[in-house]
C-alpha cells in the first residue's frame, strides 16, 4: 500500500535526500506533494492531515521515525510539533 502511495514516496524521498540524522518538517512534504501535483501555492495546507496519516503508517512499518523535541515519538500517541526522519542504521 505505501510502496505505491505518491505522498508516502514523497515523504521518504525528502528524508532520504537529507541523509541519516537529518529530519524534515511535515510542511516540507505537504508543499512538495502539492507542487508535484501542480496545485496552487496554498494547496499544501490541505495535505497536512494526509502527511500525518502517512507518517504514522510509515513509522508503524519501521520505515520512518516521528520525532518530538529531537527524540523518537510513539506514532500512536504524539501531539504538537513533530519532524520526520529515516530510521538510523546504528
pLDDT in tens, 18-35: 987 899 999 999 999 999
Cα dihedral across residues 44, 33, 12, 22: positive or negative? negative
Return the domain boundaries, the chain: 2-85
pTM for the full predicted model: 0.93
The CATH number of 2-85 is 1.10.10.10
> Cβ contacts of residue 60 below 8 Å, gap of 6+?
75, 76
Element (H, E) at 54: helix 48-60
Q: pLDDT tens-digit profile of 53-77?
A: 999 999 999 999 999 999 999 999 9
Placement of cell 519501521 in the chain: 62
Do residues 32 and 14 touch, judged by C-beta distance below 8 A? yes
Amino acid at each position: 500500500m505505501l510502496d505505491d502511495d505518491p505522498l508516502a514516496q514523497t515523504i521518504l524521498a525528502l528524508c532520504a535526500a537529507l541523509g541519516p540524522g537529518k529530519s524534515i518538517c511535515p510542511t516540507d512534504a505537504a508543499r512538495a506533494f502539492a507542487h508535484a501535483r501542480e496545485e496552487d501555492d496554498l494547496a499544501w495546507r490541505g495535505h497536512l492531515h494526509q502527511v500525518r496519516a502517512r507518517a504514522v503508517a510509515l513509522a508503524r512499518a519501521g520505515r520512518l521515525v516521528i520525532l518530538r523535541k529531537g527524540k523518537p515519538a510513539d506514532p500512536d500517541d504524539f501531539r504538537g510539533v513533530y519532524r520526520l526522519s529515516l530510521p538510523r542504521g546504528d
